[in-house]
């Protein structure tokens, strides 16, 4: 099950958190994984070293997903150099939270540019080599917040809801080429992104989680790995929730 031998995968934002867990999981099943990052060169190198130490193949590429030309150039170069591209996990994301009345234009622009435009730019670049092999798996990391909204997260929720619309459109557009496009919507997952929450905020968040605990990056990676696998060949345009029951 979930054999990815001989496949090439790109995981954006794979230097830490959910992206790192996805990269490790895909590599453990045989994929050659290219992780991308924008800062944190050391963290990226550590992810590569961890994968190699476990017997897998990995490398790191630095580019900002919000720069469409840079994203397209880097992904095209990976596909050319490694001869193929089978899997894209568009995971890179940021959250700049706050109430609408305090929203700064540059924060809105940056959130949409990284989370939404960045994922679409990477998908555009990945689709081309996937069309040549008439196969491919694209997984967008959306969020439960994109499905249910959250006070103080208007820009972030809009970007994550946008990914669901984008995935469903791409799923229809490229189904004839056997390229599947799906979303995973994590709930409250313990990573650096949620590390700023204080204990009161953490407890408040957990009251909305029937399973009574935060999720782990590995639990999200398991869902991503399924969608990236040959076993998920008949699953496209789907939104797979990994949220502990936060939204049912």
**Given the residues 37, 156, 174, 188, the one annotated as active site:** 156
Should residue 171 be labelled a site residue for ligand NAD when binding is judged by CB under 6 A?
no
- What are the beta bridge partners of residue 9? 33, 87
Should residue 129 be labelled a site residue for ligand NAD when binding is judged by CB under 6 A?
no
Among the listed residues 11, 15, 87, 164, the single contact to ligand NAD using CB under 6 A = 15
Q: 3-state SS string over 35-94?
A: EEECCCHHHHHHHHHHHHHCCCEEEEEECCCCCHHHHHHHHHHHHHHHCCCCEEEECCCC
Which residue number, 61 or 135, has a Cβ lying nearer to ligand NAD?
A: 61
Stretch that binds ligand NAD, among 15-23, 53-61, 101-109, 126-134 (CB under 6 A): 15-23
Should residue 74 be labelled a site residue for ligand NAD when binding is judged by CB under 6 A?
no
Sheet strands side by side (includes 8-11): 57-62, 32-37, 8-11, 87-90, 136-141, 179-186, 239-242
> Considering only CA atoms, which of 16, 91, 82 is closest in space to residue 48?
16
Among the listed residues 33, 37, 74, 182, the single contact to ligand NAD using CB under 6 A = 37
Which residue number, 76 or 131, has a Cβ lying nearer to ligand NAD?
A: 76
**Residue 122 Cβ, how far from ligand NAD at the closest point, in Å?**
9
Which residue number, 9 or 114, has a Cβ lying nearer to ligand NAD?
A: 114
Site string for ligand NAD, 196-235 (x = CB under 6 A): ----------------------------------------
Among the listed residues 11, 94, 122, 166, the single contact to ligand NAD using CB under 6 A = 94
**Residue 140 Cβ, how far from ligand NAD at the closest point, in Å?**
9
Among the listed residues 85, 141, 166, 224, the single contact to ligand NAD using CB under 6 A = 141
Stretch that binds ligand NAD, among 50-58, 64-72, 131-139, 170-178 (CB under 6 A): 64-72
Task: Give the position of tokens 């095209």.
Answer: 76
Should residue 244 be labelled a site residue for ligand NAD when binding is judged by CB under 6 A?
no
Reply yes or no on whether 156 is catalytic.
yes
Q: Which residues bind ligand NAD (CB under 6 A)?
A: 12-13, 15-19, 36-40, 64-66, 91-94, 114, 141, 143, 186, 188-189, 191-194
Annotated active-site positions, please?
156
């Amino acid at each position: 099950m979930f054999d990815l031998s001989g496949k090439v995968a790109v995981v954006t934002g794979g230097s830490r958190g959910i992206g790192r867990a996805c990269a490790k999981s895909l590599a453990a099943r045989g994929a050659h994984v290219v992780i991308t990052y924008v800062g944190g060169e050391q963290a990226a190198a550590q992810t590569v070293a961890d994968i190699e130490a476990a017997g897998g193949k990995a490398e790191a590429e630095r580019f900002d997903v919000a720069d469409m030309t840079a994203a397209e150039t880097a992904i095209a170069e990976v596909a050319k150099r490694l001869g193929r591209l089978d899997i894209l996990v568009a995971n890179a994301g940021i959250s700049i939270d706050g109430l609408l009345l305090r929203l700064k234009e540059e924060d809105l622009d940056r959130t949409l540019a990284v989370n939404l435009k960045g994922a679409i730019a990477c998908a555009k670049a990945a689709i081309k080599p996937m069309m040549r092999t008439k196969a491919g798996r694209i997984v967008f990391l959306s969020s439960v917040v994109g499905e249910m909204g959250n006070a103080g997260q208007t820009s972030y929720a809009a970007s994550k809801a946008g990914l669901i619309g984008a995935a469903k459109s791409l799923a229809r557009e490229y189904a004839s080429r056997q390229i599947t496009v799906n979303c995973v919507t994590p709930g409250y997952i313990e990573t650096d992104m949620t590390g700023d929450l204080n204990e009161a905020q953490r407890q408040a968040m957990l009251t909305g989680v029937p399973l009574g605990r935060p999720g782990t990056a590995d639990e999200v990676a398991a869902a991503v790995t399924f969608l990236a696998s040959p076993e998920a060949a008949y699953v496209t345009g789907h939104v797979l929730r990994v949220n502990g029951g936060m939204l049912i």
